[in-house]
Amino acid sequence: MTRILAILASLLRGLLQAAFIVMLTFFLCRVMPGDVVDVLGLEGGLSAEQQAEMRHSLGLDQPLPLQLVNWVGHALAGDFGRSIRFDRPVGEMLGTALPVTAKLAALSFCFGVALALLLAVAATARPSRWLDAAIDVVNTWSIAVPTFCAGVAAILVFSIWLGWLPVIGGLLVPVLVIGLDNAGQIVKSLREELREAVMLPHVRTARAKGLSPWRIAFAHVLPAAMPVVLALSGLVLGGLVAGSLTMEVLFGLPGLGSLTLNAIHGRDYPIILAAVTLIALALVAINTVVDMLHRLIDPRLS
Amino acid sequence: MRPILDIADLGIAIAGRRVVRDLSFSIAPGETMALIGESGSGKSMTAAAIMGLLPPGARIAERSRLRFDGLPLRPEDDAAMRPLRGRAMSMVFQDPMSCLNPFMTVAGQIDEALQRLGTGNRAFSSEVDTGSREENPSKQRDGEFSRFGETRKYSSGQRRARILELLALVELPDPAAIARRYPHELSGGQQQRVMLAMALAAEPRLLIADEPTSALDATVQAEILRLLKNLQRRLGNALLFITHDLAAAAELAHRIVVMQAGRAVEYGPAAIVLADPREDYTRKLVSTRRMLAAPPQTPPVARASEPVLRIEELVHDYPARRILGRPFRSLHGVSLAIAPGETLGIVGESGSGKSTLARLAIGLARPGGGEITLFGTSIARMARLDRALRRRCQIIFQNPYGALNPRLSVEAAMREPLELLGLSNRDDRRRIEAALVDVGLGGDHLARYPHQLSGGQRQRVCIARALLSEPELLICDEIVSALDATVQMQVIAMLKALQAKRGFAMMFVGHDIEIVRWVSDRIAVMHRGRIVEQGPATAIVTAPQDPYTQTLMAAMPGSIGSATAAGRGEWRTPFKEHVG
């Protein structure tokens, strides 16, 4: 009962955060100099009367709070409006873009966290200079090499020099690039956290029981470091949205990132808002899951 | 008979500092050896070395010879030690709460210990072990020890039955229910029993118990010691019992090694060492115990005058941790009074509410109900005490490490209360120096920082600081619990001498009945937020009326002189036989 209450509370907190993010995005869009009509006007040479008429028909001449309320009302009913530039339903456009991004983000997240965990746990179970060196390399790589550089380099190596890209195709290279970057962000902290967890008294008990180093690392050290693992994973998730945006543009993937970037350039408000809402809700959902996991792992919290 | 454990010239160094030097002793099969010493004497390091669990950075001297059942031990070779741990030798530690894995059920943790029983070589394949190629060299070394624990290989059903059997062995009620629980759902005593069950899973030939009762309440301590003794009789394992408590060692051990600063200063049969100690250090330890057993006789304080502190029907609640949760009531209507110059001892186990009471008495927390009168002023509804009241009452806490700001020198730390209480004037320095001299320190300590002082010296500084304002009431919350026995004795003797000189009243909170009794004129016994019994110190100790007080007094160790004189007498020695 209390467990369910706590989860509901964290869900509610998350939804409030999401609402705040959407609202902020709404107003920030409008603070940017020039609106969609200006952009279209520059491209198509519209007269001042035509522009005013267009603003009126799009509802852009109404007060901002009223526009927000209208949008929220429609959005709650599942209607995200039509793209101003492409004149297609926003829901449909997101529907085709979302799976691409979701797959990219999920795969690179899993790859990154798995790689970091594997390196850190291995270095805990069997401390060696080589593993520590490998951890340092991955860590330095992610600090020093921006993903777009790594992405360009990967294109150069895989598709131009090796000519593999047609064979591998699609997501593999961007997943490797983002995943490696994610792993580098967390692996060092993870290693340090595990190094400290090894000093815990219950780990000494496990050693006194004569368990193997791998069993100790997985069953006794890792659970103790789990809160930090989860917190670090959350950190990576936040960065994933930005990371996948770069990769989508670089590799020409028709995902949420490309869509949003184009929409921002064209001030295509409905798409921006819908995409941001979607991303915010996804993050809230993930955070709730992480919170539940945390409670599931640590019996003292239930 | 060949000794099960034979240690010769053991030396251990950590970062170049030698923590154990030239230590030699041996344990026969089925024998109990006690390793006695104060903190930093190297006793736990010795145990860690035997198990191969030394912290990183610790080195064992070249010439050290350790033999287990005739075969050489290589404590620094983890792979060689692993097959022995949990099979031929196992260990229980001091603080069972943090030594059990909080993420696993009791059954899961014992099961882990059972799973790897079986032949030394096969055990590895059943574990999560992908590095099996690196395992090969250790498998060959395993061979030497393969006769240990080779007999059984449990199926999961057998393991389940064995878990329940082990939990029953350590006298836990309802093993099936305990097995399903997580460590935080057990009491301290139950946790330590689970640790024992886990350590005994393989029926080891040597059990090492490193201060197994120090983190537990007095009544629980006595039970665990009795259990250790019974189990050893039944299972016939050798026991290396590490403790700072002479009485416990006298009770359990056949032979004793007394350690000081890494060396064995005395070695021999328990009865002889304790009854007739040869070395200065052992004598000091023994005389500390004897001193505790014979408290000073002070004339009763006249209680006619107005009490310095009067507490009536005091109630206190800790707020609920969750929405919809119930607040935790820590005090249920506590009443007491302290006369000028009198010492009231408050005795209770952890969670009994004694520290909460101490904090309320000096206005550091606000009561939920009841009345607190400090020097005739009611403070129960006051947001904070005014300067005049604060000057007249002072509090000293348990942890002298936390009570001193590490960035302030002793002089700066002691100047602070003078300034805060508006007592500062030109001869501050002289007064601070005089206060330090009073507690057995001196002017050369003024410029030192807390990390340059020992635990006992830090607590002396805290006492000197509290006495600077010449308070009429001193509240001492477990002030010697974190100190070694000999230091404890020095500190309370000094405190009593200061009290005789200055005549302040004291509320002396503690869990160690002997120490509280030594200090106090009257004692109040607390249990679950209530004072169950209150009266003159001697009467409470020798003729307790309340059933809880009776169990508390029964758990108190007897004086070692008589325990050893009577051979190895009953644990529950009634105290009154040793008074006077």
With respect to residue B240, please indicate whether it lies within any of the assigned structural domains: yes
Q: How far is CA A34 from CA A267, B374, B485, B514, in A?
A: 8, 72, 79, 83
Q: Is B113 on the interface with A (CB under 8 A)?
A: yes
Per cent of chain B over pLDDT 70 is 87
Among all residues of chain A, which has the CA nearest to that of B325? A2
Give the span between the Cα atoms of B558 and B562, in whole angstroms: 8
Asked if B575 contacts B542 with a C-beta cutoff of 8 angstroms, the reply is yes
Q: How far apart are CA A109 and CA A234, in angstroms?
A: 10
Residue numbers in A near B323 (CB within 8 A): 5
Question: Based on the structure, what is the number of domains in chain B?
Answer: 3
CB proximity B118 to A under 8 Å: no
* HEC profile of chain A: CHHHHHHHHHHHHHHHHHHHHHHHHHHHHHHCCCCHHHHHHHHHCCCHHHHHHHHHHHCCCCCHHHHHHHHHHHHHCCCCCECCCCCCEHHHHHHHHHHHHHHHHHHHHHHHHHHHHHHHHHHHHCCCHHHHHHHHHHHHHHHHCCHHHHHHHHHHHHHHHCCCHHHHCCCHHHHHHHHHHHHHHHHHHHHHHHHHHCCCHHHHHHHHCCCCHHHHHHHHHHHHHHHHHHHHHHHHHHHHHHHHHHHHHHHCCCCHHHHHHHHHHCCCHHHHHHHHHHHHHHHHHHHHHHHHHHHHHCHHHC
Q: Which residue's entry shows tokens 């700072």?
A: B244
Residue B100 is nearest to which of A5, A202, A211, comparing CB atoms? A202
The token duo for A46 is 């519209």
Contact state of A125 with B84 under an 8 Å Cβ cutoff: no
Taking the Cβ of residue B425 and every Cβ of chain A, the question of whether any pair is shorter than 8 Å is answered with: no
Q: Compute how many other C-beta atoms are within 10 angstroms of the C-beta atom of residue B317.
A: 15
Average pLDDT, chain B: 83
> Across the interface, do B113 and A2 touch by the CB < 8 Å criterion?
no
Distance from CA of B129 to the nearest CA of A (A): 6
Question: Which residues on chain B are in Cβ contact (under 8 Å) with A295?
Answer: none
pLDDT bucket at B406, cuts 50 / 70 / 90 = confident
**Does residue B20 surpass a pLDDT of 50?**
yes
Query: Do B174 and B45 fall within a single domain?
Result: no
Chain A: give the shortest CA distance to residue B514, in Å: 30
CA distances from B96 to B196, B198, B346, B376 (A): 10, 12, 26, 45
C-alpha separations of A135 from A147, A189, B184, B265 in Å: 18, 10, 35, 48
* Within a domain: B514: yes
Which of B415, B371, B375 is closest to B393 using CA atoms?
Answer: B375
Taking an 8 Å cut-off on Cβ atoms, the answer to whether B112 and A201 are in contact is: no
Contact B52, B78 (CB under 8 A): yes
B264 and B395 in one domain? no
Model pLDDT, residue B135: 40
Tell me the two tokens of residue B567: 């051979």
Q: Look at A202 and B102 and tell me if their CB atoms are within 8 Å.
A: yes
Same domain, B238 and B156: no
- Do B211 and B191 sit in the same domain of this protein? no
- pTM score: 0.75
pLDDT at B464 over 80: yes
Region of residue B154 (left: phi > 0; alpha: psi -120 to 50; beta: else): beta
State which residues form the domain around B386. Answer: 309-555
User: Any CB–CB contact under 8 A between B83 and chain A?
Assistant: yes
The answer on B74 and B31 residing in a single domain is: yes
Q: How confident is the model at residue B141 (pLDDT cuts 50, 70, 90)?
A: very low
Based on the domain organization, do B398 and B262 belong to the same domain?
A: no
Picking from B95, B116, B325, the nearest residue to A211 by CB comes out as B116
Mark which of B160, B184, B203 sits at the end of a domain.
B203
Q: Pick A282 or B121 by higher pLDDT.
A: A282
From chain B, the residues in CB contact with A223 under 8 A are: 101, 103
Give the distance from residue A284's alpha carbon to the nearest chain B alpha carbon, in angstroms.
Answer: 23
Residue A247 CB coordination number (10 Å):
29
Separation between Cα atoms, residue B249 and residue B260, nearest integer Å: 16
Q: Using CA coordinates, name the residue in chain B closest to A3.
A: B322
Q: Which residues in B lie closer than 8 A to residue A215 (C-beta atoms)?
A: 112, 127-129
Please judge whether A209 and B124 are an interchain contact, meaning their C-beta atoms are less than 8 angstroms apart: no
Domain boundary among the residues B203, B223, B239 is at: B203
pLDDT tens-digit readout, B195-244: 999 999 888 999 999 989 887 888 888 889 999 999 998 888 999 999 98
The pLDDT score that the predictor gives to residue B145 is 45
Torsion, Cα B121 B124 B125 B129, to 10 degrees, reads: -150
> Are the CB atoms for B111 and B159 separated by under 8 Å?
yes
Q: Which residue has the higher pLDDT, B570 or B507?
A: B507
For residues A285 and A237, the answer to whether their CB atoms sit within 8 Å is no
State whether B90 and A204 contact (CB < 8 Å). Answer: no
Residues B257 and B165 in one domain: no
Contact B116 A201 (CB under 8 A): no
> pLDDT by residue (tens digit) across B515-528?
898 999 999 999 98
pLDDT in tens, B411-423: 999 998 888 888 8
Residue at B134 is within a domain: no
- Indicate whether B478 and B423 sit together in one domain: yes
Residue A216 contacts B where some CB pair is shorter than 8 Å? no
| Residues of A (25-84) whose Cβ lies below 8 Å from B | none
Question: Are B377 and B513 in a shared domain?
Answer: yes
Query: Phi and psi (nearest 5°) for A46?
Result: -85, 150
Pairing status of strand B17-27 against strand B377-378 = unpaired
Complete edge-to-edge strand list for the sheet that includes strand B328-338: B328-338, B309-318, B369-374, B377-378
Q: What is the pLDDT of residues A119-170, one digit of tens each?
A: 999 999 988 899 999 999 999 998 898 888 888 888 888 777 877 665 445 7
What is the pLDDT averaged over residues B294-319? 78
Q: Pick from B86, B184, B323: which is nearest to A208 by CB? A: B86
Q: A205 CA to chain B: closest CA distance, Å? A: 6
**Position B297 in a domain:** no
Q: Which residues of chain A have pLDDT under 70?
A: 1-3, 164-169, 242, 302
Same domain, B71 and B108: no
- A5–B86 C-beta distance less than 8 A: no
Q: Residue B24 above 60 pLDDT?
A: yes
Grade residue B578 by pLDDT with cuts at 50, 70 and 90.
very low
Residue B12 lies in a domain: yes
Q: Are B290 and B559 in contact (CB under 8 A)?
A: yes
pLDDT for A244 equals 76
Q: What's the sign of the alpha-carbon dihedral A90, A93, A95, A97?
A: negative
Would you say residue B131 has pLDDT above 60? no
Surface of A (236-295) touching B: CB under 8 A: none
Q: Is residue B301 part of a domain?
A: no
CATH number at residue B477: 3.40.50.300
Residue B304 lies in a domain: no
Would residue B469 count as lying in a domain?
yes
Are B473 and B365 part of one and the same domain?
yes
* pLDDT for res B35: 93
Residue from A124, A211, A220 whose CB has the most chain B CBs within 10 Å, to mutate = A211
Farthest-apart Cα atoms in chain A, separation: 84
pLDDT in tens, B339-352: 998 999 999 888 88
First-to-last alpha carbon distance for chain B, in angstroms, is 44
| B101–chain A Cβ distance below 8 A for any pair | yes
Contact predicate B175/B153, CB 8 Å: no
B517 touches chain A (CB under 8 A): no
Residues B410 and B498 in one domain: yes
The alpha-carbon gap from A224 to the nearest alpha carbon of chain B, in Å, equals 8
Among B203, B223, B242, the domain boundary falls at B203
Q: Is A3 on the interface with B (CB under 8 A)?
A: no
Residue B147 pLDDT grade (very low, low, confident, very high; cuts 50, 70, 90): very low
Q: Give the residue among B346, B282, B272 at the shortest CA–CA distance from B309.
A: B346
What's the average model confidence in pLDDT over B137-163? Answer: 60
Dist. CA B549–CA A66, nearest whole Å: 73
* A chain contacts of residue B198, beta-carbon cutoff 8 Å: 205, 209
